[in-house]
Structure 1
Amino acid sequence: MTGRIVLAATPIGNPDDASARLRDAIAHADLIAAEDTRRLRDLARRLGVELTAELVAVHDHNEADRAVMLIDRARDGAAVLVVSDAGMPTVSDPGFRVVEAAAAGGVDVTVLPGPSAVLTALALSGLPTDRFCFEGFLPRKAGERARSLAALTSEPRTMVFFEAPHRLAESLAAMAEHWGHDRRAAVSRELTKTYEETRRGSLAELAAWALAEAPRGEIVVTVAGRPARAASMEELVAEALARVVAGERAKDAVADLAATGGVPRRELYAAVLSARAEGASGA
């Protein structure tokens, strides 16, 4: 670790998820930048690790200033460990400005991977995981939140959000209003803890549940992306004709488009032939 910045993921709930590398890093760091030093001390106690490092609080309000000091210490040879309260630093938590400054200053940065609430909730959601985006917390004010949701209306990827318990029902209802009441979603809370729970359903169903039950704890909301719109027969015919003009065989273009568009191949082929005939007679 000497002379570098080390970003380390900490448990998101269960301390037994701490890796051996994390324990070793906490025990041997010269300087630890923690989002909350009290929570770091508690984690070290739970892990049975003796803290000998200098501790410094690095949070949203002071990270820009503290980043310079951390980089200077690493450049002087110190082993600098950066941790957030839970999960991976920089992911909706402090750490980004430290990495940015390290990259600009030529200081080595490495990561001790580990627990992530984003990936854990995504895996539990039952929604597509091949493509996803993380959107953090929605704005608190209704107008700003509406603008953020409107900007994501056409997002095809699965979306992951953090949300506070007292705003959950309102946020789910707003999502349903903007994206459709039937849009699939999941709400995960207290991940890896004793009362871990994941609810799956439509946005409307989850909004009603949140309003009635007022769930507590740390919450992650996962929402399916916008479903792909099925192309009309006219659009498929037009694309097939364009591909034929570009040199592709009509049968090959039709076979491909029929498979992806979910229409009978014979029906599409007949429509393409009819359109070509009309085009020829019109010419």
Structure 2
Amino acid sequence: MIPAYASLSERIWFYAFRVGCGLILLFLVIPILVIIPLSFNSDSFLIYPMSGFSLRWYEEFFFSDTWTHALKNSLIVAPFATLLAMVFGTLASIGLTRVDFPGKALVTAILISPMVVPVVIVGVATYLVFAPIGLSGSYVGLILVHAALGVPFVVTTVSATLQGFDYNLVRAAASLGANPVTAFFRVTLPLVAPGVISGGLFAFGISFDEVVVTLFLASPEQTTLPRQMFSGIRENISPAIAAVATILTIFAVLMLLTLEWLRGRSERMRTSASNR
């Protein structure tokens, strides 16, 4: 909020900055607001004005063999990739936070590199590596690559949570006879759980939305939902794609609300711990 003693130029800049941010946000949201009504269009084309209201495209999504097969593949790949990303990302975060060693910055850069390297490069590289060993066109190869893409998000969120972690709690558990595994599951994991879950949600979203790597690695039988949408846009634009996009938008909103709830829960836990 702008202070009462701010000058006229500061007030103008304050409101101009917020109007600019609002316009940018509106520019980003307009495509979503446009596509959602089209998913209820009774016509077979993505056009305005709409001639009528219909749920036929949602019915096609849920009862079409093509779409349900793609959804099934996404629900096979994304959960397993998320689980692997959460396990390896959490362990890597704890190791990087607790231990100082030569080359730590290099290891950190390698772990988060999938977040900044163009996905098409990842797709080409993994195809060249996986094809000779038979992992190309398999669920295992697809899950491993999606997990690698999700690990940086888990490392980032868990590392942020561990910044305020009191390792004296782990030492106290060890002094009471707990082995390292017990101390991890009974002390460390419950306290960093918000960061782990947040990173897992990001990893799940990345895997569920990934199309470029899937184009390189997946066989026709392993078509995921984003790949099916991509193929539909190229070959035959159907309002069913708008229905799928609307469902994915609702899923993304629910995921963001969950992340916000976890962030608030983490802040409350830190405040409670500091008051003690």
**After TM superposition, is the score higher than 0.5?**
no
Structure number with the higher strand fraction is 1
Q: Hey, which of these two has a bigger chunk of helix by percent?
A: 2
In our comparison, the structure showing a higher alpha carbon Rg is 1
Q: TM-score, normalised by structure 1?
A: 0.23
